[in-house]
Each structure stands twice: as structure tokens, then as C-alpha cells.
Structure 1
Amino acid sequence: MPSGRFSSSFSYPDVRVAIDLGNPFLNRTFDGFLKIGTVAVVRVAAEETYHSLCRGSISKNKLEHSLKKMCKEGAYWGTIAAVYIGMEYGVERFRGTRDWKNAMLGGAASGALVSAASNSSRDKVVVNAITGAAIATAAEFLNYLT
């Protein structure tokens, strides 16, 4: 009986931008800001494109609104990523070791900091610190699997 087999490989595009700010802390935080900010911008662009296609038209006002939303979301998520990466790097330097605990502590500190900066209640700050720690730790564990 004849049989066939399909073999293929998929490779991700390798886009690397290196900006040396003269300090490893600044290099990491700025890199995180750019990467996650770009993801947020692309997400909003895709979302706004979908909504425009559903409406069947686009106006200058809607385009301006979309561009402002892209910039706002990119800056917001990029800043949160930079805070997390900076916190994780600081914990790593303080502890002198690189492990999952740095992600947990960095996630907790950045979750609390971002929440406190938005004038949240004490309970909300604690919940966001726990959430930040959980997400960062889970991401670190998933990173070990790949």
C-alpha cells in the first residue's frame, strides 16, 4: 500500500535590533519596551483593521483615532514590560543568581508598582502583585520547556 509523508519546517523571522545605551540595565529595559510595545501596536492595528472591514469604510477621523490608540497602547504595554524587565534584572543583580525566583519577585514588584501608580487601593495593589508574580513565574517555567 503506498504511503506518503509531508515534511516541512517553519522558521520565524529573525529581526534583531541592537541599541547600545552603555548600560546592561538600560539595554534590557529599552529592548523590552520596544518589543512589547511593538506587539501592542500590531495588536491594535489588526483590531482596528478588522473593525474597519466590518464597517466597510474608513474615514480620516477613524484613522487618526486608530493611530492615537496604537501609540497609546504601545507606550503603555512597552512601559509595563520595561518596568518588569528592569525589576527582574535588579533582583537578579541583587541576588547574584539567575533563576525563576527573579521572575517571581520582579513580577510581584512591577505588578505592585504599576498598580500603585494608578492610584489603586491597597487590596488591588496586593492582588496585582500576586498576579504579576504568577504570570512572570509561569512565563519563566514555560520558557524552560522550549
Structure 2
Amino acid sequence: MPRSSFSGALTGPQVDVVIDLGNPLLNHTVDGFLKIGTVAATRAVAEDAFSAAKKGAISTKDFEHTLKKMCKEGAYWGTVAGVYVGAEYGIERVRGRRDWKNAMLGGALTGALVSAASKGNKDKVLVDAITGGAIATAAEFINYLT
């Protein structure tokens, strides 16, 4: 019996915005902020658009709420991503190596900083540092697999 198959890959568009601040650390940090901040803002819009479609209408108040949510989510997640990307890049430059340990240390530092800025509890800071390091390390290992 004849068989046929399809082989291919699905990729999305890639958009790169280059902002040169004259310092590679700042360039990486701002790049991470912009990319992840944009994703977070887009997620907020999609979530509220779904709610509006489900409700069947949108008001000026809903629109203002969505705009504020976009800015808040974009700024928060963009800042976290900027800190992580900057920390990982800085650690890579100091160590002189590009490996999974940079991701682990960058994730731990980011988790600790975000936790300390928002909560201040020493035990929570330590748990968030371990969590950040574990997530960043796992993401790095997954990147190696693909």
C-alpha cells in the first residue's frame, strides 16, 4: 500500500531591534527587557480581548484597564528578564566561559533580587534564588537539546 508523509518545520517570524547603548551589558539588558516586556504586554492584551469577546462588548473603562495592565505586566516581566539577561551576560564575561553555570547563577541572582525587592523575607529570598537558578538551568539544558 502506498504511503506518503510530510516533513517540515514551523517557524515564526523573527524580529530583532538593535539598540546600541555603547556597552554590551546594557545592550543585552535592554534587549531582554524589550523582548520579554513586549511578550508580557501582548499576553495581557490577548487575555483581555478574550474576556471582552466572551462578554460581547468593551467599554472605555475596560480599555483603560487593559492599557494599564499592559504597562504593568510589560514593565514587571521586562525588568525581570532584563535583570536575568544582564546578570547572565555579566557572569559570562567575568567567568570567561559560556555554559549552563552562567544561567544557573544568573537565575539565582535574579530570583534573589526580585524576591528581596518585593518581600524581603530571608527564607523566601533563598527559596526564590534556588527556584530561579533551577528554572534557568533547566531552560538552558532544554536549549541544548533542541
Gaps of 5+ in 1: none
Q: Give the match for residue 81 of structure 1.
A: 81
Q: Distance in 1 between matches of 2:119 and 2:3?
A: 64
Shift in alpha-carbon separation, 1:93–1:7, aligned structure 2, 3 A: closer
Q: Distance in 1 between matches of 2:84 and 2:71?
A: 20
Q: Give the match for residue 17 of structure 1.
A: 17
Alignment of structure 1 residues 1-146 onto 2, 5 Å: 1-146=1-146
Match of 1:6, SS state, is coil
Query: How many equivalent pairs are there?
Result: 146
Match of 1:131, SS state, is helix
Shift in alpha-carbon separation, 1:116–1:9, aligned structure 2, 3 A: closer
Deviation at 1:16, TM superposition (A): 1.4
Deviation at 1:12, TM superposition (A): 1.7
Q: Distance in 1 between matches of 2:3 and 2:143?
A: 37
Deviation at 1:44, TM superposition (A): 0.6
Q: Distance in 2 between matches of 1:54 and 1:20?
A: 43
- Which letter does structure 1 place at the counterpart of 2:120? S
Deviation at 1:11, TM superposition (A): 2.8
